[in-house]
Amino acid sequence: MKAFKDSGHLFRLLAVGAAGILLFLVMRTFLVPKSFGEFGHYRGDAISDLAARPVSFAGHETCEGCHSDVLDKKKDGKHAHVNCEACHGPQAKHADDPATVQPPKLDTAVLCVRCHEANAAKPKNFPQVASADHSSGMPCDTCHQPHSPVIDSSAAGGTK
Amino acid sequence: MTISRRHMLLLLPAAAVAWKHVLAGTPESSPNYTMSQHWWGMLIDLTKCIGCGNCVRACQSENDVPDGYFRTWVERYHVTDYDIENPHVDSPDGGKKGFPPAKDESGKNFFVPKLCNHCVESPCTQVCPVGATFVSPDGVVLVDKKYCLGCRYCVQACPYGCRFINPKTETAEKCTLCYHRITKGLTTACCESCPTGARQLADLKNPSDPIHEFLKTHSVQVLKPYMATHAKVFYNGLDGSVR
């Protein structure tokens, strides 16, 4: 055993190193979340955490489940492809509890111009008006029904 | 009521079972969703965008985005004649309240909605030192709030300026493509509230998704293609002046 003469300190160093590695491995098992590395170099559970968030827009299919009358009104009009919540806002709470949570009443004077106020940057084929000249301050729904906005000739006194 | 030692011993395992239930209590959100069957992107048809700001407002209420920060926003471009190198761009409050009349109606005016491009080779995930941001198996770039240190590397790295540090949580935040919605079979809040259909969620792995027909028949472009990020937000009618 001539080669290992006076080499006790090396073995002690090795033991300290091995203990260090062991401590690292033990701590790692406790500190690294189980799902880390499930799909890649990240915590796999982060995906389900994000997916668990509640929604605030119910989606038009949910609305149409109850409000089929509005769907009928909309379907032949210019707004057929405008989803309910585009104007009515997020209504998931109303959909969950229709009796107590009521959607707010909408103000057409604010709502319609969001889309239809004339602006040079809007596509030319999109219907636009300069609201100040167009209705002389009257609310839009005096003439236009928002769910099917083309003016009904009988309602508007024969003009179209 | 007093609890004897015997009762305490009986209660302990019950408490352990209850605690396990609490720990496992993340609500099961999407039982029928398989990540490997989807590859998400978005189609933005600029010929339809009217700059109403519905998408910006919808995103803000769906995702609790703090005021003054944006996961999606709308820019208005103004290009005079041939000078596409120097467009004038404005985006008052991210377009959240719509846009005032254009200052100069000559030349070309148009809107460009922007959001995270959910790049396949995303620069933001490559620089994260702690594995807090990643591309999910269904192709969405996400942030793990619990792991994020708020070091801002990713904010710097994104070539599209789509990330910010949430002032409350001090962690990086960005568009999740409404991950909590798309995994439930819903579309994103911005697409749901877009009145003209200018924004459309696209599942590139679903052969019956209308995106495939659209891509076949239109000239679409991604933002900054020279960055080779393999962006998955496709723009129809994108002008050369858009940065």
Cβ contacts of A83 on chain B, cutoff 8 Å:
192-195
Residue B57's closest CA among B166, B149, B157, B190? B190
User: What per-residue confidence (pLDDT) applies to B15?
Assistant: 66
Beta strands in chain A (DSSP E): none
Q: Establish if A43 touches chain B: CB-CB under 8 angstroms.
A: yes
Contact: A46, B142; criterion CB under 8 Å: yes
Average predicted confidence (pLDDT) for chain B: 91
User: What per-residue confidence (pLDDT) applies to B13?
Assistant: 66
In the predicted model, is pLDDT for residue B180 greater than 60? yes
Cβ-Cβ contacts under 8 Å for B44 (sequence gap 6 or more): B113, B198, B199, B200, B233, B234, B235, B236
CA distance B29 to A64: 22
pLDDT tens-digit readout, B16-33: 655 554 444 444 456 789
User: What per-residue confidence (pLDDT) applies to A154?
Assistant: 54
Query: Considering only B21-25, B138-142, B176-180, which range has the smallest mean pLDDT?
Result: B21-25
B209: tokens are 């998704």
Cβ contacts of A56 on chain B, cutoff 8 Å:
61-62, 189
Q: Yes or no: say if B202 and B234 are a contact pair by the CB < 8 Å rule.
A: yes
Mutate to test the interface with B, among A32, A43, A53 (most CBs of B within 10 A): A53
Position with higher pLDDT, B137 vs B11: B137
Cβ contacts of B192 on chain A, cutoff 8 Å:
57, 59-60, 83, 85-86
Burial of B128 (0-12, 13-18, 19+ CB in 10 A): buried
Please give the torsion angle defined by the CA atoms of residues B144, B145, B147 and B152, in that order, rounded to the nearest 10 degrees. Answer: 100
User: What per-residue confidence (pLDDT) applies to A160?
Assistant: 36
Query: ipTM for the complex?
Result: 0.84
Q: Establish if A93 touches chain B: CB-CB under 8 angstroms.
A: no
Nearest to B180 among A40, A41, A52 (CB): A52
Adjacent-strand bridge partners of B138: none
Query: What number is the average pLDDT over the span B130-143?
Result: 97
Query: What number is the average pLDDT over the span B135-156?
Result: 96
Smallest Cα distance from A84 to chain B, Å: 8
CA distance B110 to B107: 10
User: What per-residue confidence (pLDDT) applies to B29?
Assistant: 56
User: What per-residue confidence (pLDDT) applies to B7?
Assistant: 72
Smallest Cα distance from A7 to chain B, Å: 41
pLDDT band of B202, cuts 50, 70, 90: very high
Q: Yes or no: say if A31 and A23 are a contact pair by the CB < 8 Å rule.
A: no
Which residue does chain A place closest to B111, by CA atoms? Answer: A121
User: What per-residue confidence (pLDDT) applies to B23?
Assistant: 47
CA dist list (Å): A63 to A56, A86, A88: 13, 12, 11
Smallest Cα distance from A22 to chain B, Å: 23
In the predicted model, is pLDDT for residue B60 greater than 60? yes
pLDDT tens-digit readout, B227-240: 999 999 999 999 99
User: What per-residue confidence (pLDDT) applies to A3?
Assistant: 73
Smallest Cα distance from A121 to chain B, Å: 4
Q: pLDDT tens track of chain A, all 160 residues?
A: 577 788 889 999 999 999 999 999 999 999 999 999 999 999 999 999 999 999 999 999 999 999 999 999 999 899 999 999 999 999 999 999 999 999 988 888 889 999 999 999 999 999 999 988 898 888 888 899 999 998 865 554 434 3
User: What per-residue confidence (pLDDT) applies to B208?
Assistant: 95
Establish, for the pair of chains A and B, how many residue pairs have beta carbons separated by less than 8 Å. 133
CA distance A64 to A76: 15
pLDDT tens-digit readout, B95-122: 999 999 988 888 899 999 999 999 999 9
